[in-house]
Structure 1
Amino acid sequence: MSTVNLADAKAHLSELIGRVAEGDTVRITRRGKPIAQLSSVKKTLQPIDLGALKRITDPMPAQKQSAGDFMREMRDGDRY
């Protein structure tokens, strides 16, 4: 955990946010006493509903060409 005084926190907030995003915790002090703490927000992952995904993708027609061939055709056909 890093400790930063309030004046430095105001001057370097973007840098502190970057450090917090990387997992560091930053404690902000005023006159040597802690007044605030910056920490990252824990992201919650939601499980994928495989049944719903299957219901959406089943009616879709299969591609007639590979993705690589499709991208190559798009790239070669649209020269700028």
Structure 2
Amino acid sequence: MKRVSVAEAKAKLSEILDAVIAGEEVMITRRGKAIAKIVTPDLPKEKLDLERMRTLTSKMKPYPGSFVEDMRNEERY
């Protein structure tokens, strides 16, 4: 994690934001003590397109059984 002073953050804000966009976290310090951290925001996830998912899964071949299904049929659970 990159550490910068308040004065450096003021002077190089655009560069710091570019680093954050690239995935780096930046800690801002005052007199050597951390006072803030700049990170990328948690963006909302895309909504699931159900019709597209149905189209994709309808083309899949069904799997002829599974470990859990076999256990259930053997009454081992």
- TM-score exceeds 0.5: yes
Q: C-alpha displacement at 1:36, in angstroms?
A: 0.4
Q: Tell me what 2:6 maps to.
A: 6
Which runs of 4 or more aligned residues in structure 1 lie more than 6 Å from their structure 2 counterparts after TM superposition?
A: none
Percent identity at matched positions? 39
1:35: Cα distance to partner? 0.4
Unaligned runs of 5+ in 2: 53-77
| TM-score, structure 2 normalization | 0.60
Deviations along 1:4-55, whole A, 9 cap, x unmatched? 000000011111111101110000000000000000012222212427xxxx
What TM-score do the two structures reach when normalised by structure 1?
Answer: 0.58
* Count of aligned residue pairs for this structure pair: 51
CA-based RMSD: 1.4
**Unaligned 5+ residue runs, structure 1?**
52-80
The whole-number CA distance in structure 2 between the counterparts of 1:10 and 1:46 is 37
